[in-house]
Amino acid sequence: MNRRLFTRLAAWPLALALLVTGMTGAAPAAFAESAEQVEEIRGLLERYHLSRPDEDTLNRAAIEGMIYALGDPYTEYLPPEEWEAYQRDLEQEIVGIGVYMTNQNQSVLITDVIPNSPAERAGIQPGDVIVEVDGAAVKTTDDARDRLLGKAGTTVNVVLLRDGREIRVRVTRQLIRLASVSGQPMGDGVGYMALTGFTSDSPERFAERLEQLEKGGLKALIVDLRNNGGGYIEAAQEIASHFIRNGVLAHMINRDGKDTPLSVSGTPRPYPVVLLVNEATASAAELFAGALQDYGAAKLVGRKTYGKGVTQLLIPLSFGGVLKVTTQEYLTPNNRKVEGIGLTPDVVVQGPAAQLAAAYRAAGGKTMQITYVMGNVTINGVRTRQPNAVYNHNGAWYVNGHFAAAVLGAELSYDANTRTVNMTRDGRTLSIRIDDQRLNVQNGLSAFDIRALAEWAPELHWNVDGDTVKLSLTASAG
């Protein structure tokens, strides 16, 4: 999971003042003895150990040992070079070529290309498969990422596979700042916004995009927080002001049990709001989602969130680098614990495409235009990825049961007594036995023959062109 900050740099002077105050006065004898023991052991290791450890190595080990003893995965020492990378990560900056990738059949598929990026200028397209990077074969996204990232201004040679042809491109890496906010209308008066992180500029970008959508006439809004690892608390606080009138964003509890409520004041939206969440929605994103859920300002759709309910303070060190230390736990406005637990959605849905369809329906949307190609699913112009959403088996096309239920606004269930998978809507049920060819079960997931679905739900239309499957749903769906 990407690491995220939870306090701004403005908090540093206070942190330093507290640190200095805590170190004044005479040290206890036990502390002095411990310090002497550490120094004695350090000296003996430097003098006698076979590896001839130097002072820097032992100092770093001592720091890591103290932090490890806390049993806290979020407290860590960041040397200067890691601190620089951490800041870039916080602001969603990378030095690379500008592509999104996924693993597919032991190969690396490019799912999207960032506009105006080096990749786009080099002619790289979504659907291309990365074969080699700088002469080395790549089979996973980790392999590709390690080789594509580098220093700005350096070049990388990439071999791609497109429509059975090899294409060779030379791309110059550059600093790319990923947009933390994007959005578009989805139809039926439903707006969609993706918030990938609470960066320093995300409140301004969110307000701008929200205003643009509202000018077009909104009846409901979807805010996608899936894979949002958090960010600045202040950014979450500002964005929450678009949904909460007067209240508490979170209760911030320090190690003495003192509660410092984080207030929020703003103007709620006059229309329904749906938040998309998943297992990678974490930290400040959970803080934000938990507050909106508690106040009834939004309905959560998706999967249970990560469960990071603690915040960290950043303290600059005199010898360089930064200490990131956990100082508070937060609870939701209704005093719900998040740490190690997460948030449970109001509507639990499995699968990214199914979640998007369910959120659209929860927001009041009915008409859909869906395109599936090579694992990519586009619903009313919004693209996500779910390789098993639609697939071909023995010449027939099947639709994942969870995805089909979300699209049709139906309930999916299994009856162990009759060994049937059931799709129910408006008092009507499509019931198919698991040994019926109209149903395909792979890895415990049921999928319906698209022909059976269209017969049961006549408002569903479909066509296939090669590997591209298109589904359309009229407004008459329940």
Q: In angstroms, rounded to a whole number, what is the distance separating the alpha carbons of residues 34 and 214?
A: 63
The residues, any chain, with a CB within 8 Å of residue 403's CB and separated by 6 or more, are 351, 353, 354, 357, 377, 386, 389, 390
Same domain, 263 and 388: no
Which structure tokens are listed for 115?
């506009």
Distance, CA of 225 to CA of 280 (rounded, Å): 9
Residue 33: its pLDDT value, please? 56
Give the pLDDT score at 91.
86
d(CA 185, CA 214): 10
The answer to whether 340 and 306 are in contact (CB under 8 A) is no
Supply the residues annotated as catalytic: 283, 294, 308
On whether both 55 and 118 belong to a single domain, the answer is no
For residue 252, the SS3 value is strand
Cα–Cα dist 18/256, whole Å: 15
Task: Give 472's strand partners.
Answer: 369, 461
- CA 316/CA 324 separation, integer angstroms: 9
Are 253 and 297 found together in one domain?
A: yes
**Domain enclosing residue 293, as ranges:** 181-311+326-348
Q: Please calculate the CA angle 118-165-100 and round it to the nearest 5 degrees.
A: 35
Judgement on whether residues 192 and 163 belong to the same structural domain of the protein: no
In a domain, 415, yes or no: yes
H helical segments located in 193-338: 202-215, 233-240, 284-294
Instruction: Report the CATH number at residue 268.
Output: 3.90.226.10
3-state SS assignment for residue 408: helix
Single out the residue in 38, 62, 90 at which a domain terminates.
Answer: 90
Residue 3's pLDDT is 36
What's the CA gap between 80 and 234, in Å, rounded?
A: 25
Is 4 among the domain residues? no
Q: What is the pLDDT of residue 68?
A: 93
Residues 109, 115, 121, 124: what is their CA dihedral angle, to the nearest 10 degrees?
10
Write down the pLDDT at residue 16.
Answer: 28
In this structure, the answer to whether residues 196 and 307 fall within a common structural domain is: yes
Q: Are residues 301 and 431 in the same domain?
A: no
Is residue 318 in a domain? no
Is 447 in contact with 397 (CB distance < 8 Å)? no
3-state secondary structure of 158: strand
Q: Is residue 320 part of a domain?
A: no
Distance CA 200, CA 178 (A): 13
| Domain match, 200 and 276 both | yes
Residue range 20-34, pLDDT digits in tens: 223 334 444 444 457
In the numeric block, which tokens belong to residue 434? 């698991």
Instruction: Write down the pLDDT at residue 42.
Output: 86
In a domain, 359, yes or no: no
Q: Which of the listed residues 147, 177, 207 is the one where a domain comes to its end? A: 177
- If asked whether residues 143 and 22 sit together in one domain, one would say no
Q: Is residue 478 part of a domain?
A: no
pLDDT at residue 231, rounded to an integer: 92
State the number of CA atoms in the 13 A half-sphere of 214 facing the CB. Answer: 12
Flag whether 226 is in a domain. Answer: yes
- Please check whether residues 112 and 235 belong to one and the same domain: no
Task: Name the stretches of the chain with pLDDT < 50.
Answer: 1-32, 477-478
Our CA dihedral for 116, 121, 124, 125, rounded to 10 degrees, sits at 50
Q: What is the DSSP string of 59-116?
A: HHHHHHHHHHHTT-TT-EEE-HHHHHHHHHHHTTEEEE--EEEEEETTEEEEEEE-TT
Q: How far is CA 439 from the centre of its chain?
A: 32
**344 plus 238 within the same structural domain:** yes
Statement to judge: residues 333 and 290 lie in one domain: yes
Instruction: Say how many Å lie between the first and final Cα of the chain, rounded.
Output: 38
Percent helix, strand, coil in the chain, to 5, is 30, 35, 35
Instruction: Tell me how far apart the alpha carbons of residues 70 and 338 are, in angstroms, rounded to a whole number.
Output: 20
Q: 65 and 46 in one domain?
A: yes
**453 found inside a domain:** yes
Q: Among residues 142, 177, 212, which one ends one of the domains? A: 177
As for how many domains the chain has, the answer is 4
Element of type H or E holding 192: strand 190-195
What per-residue confidence (pLDDT) applies to 98?
93
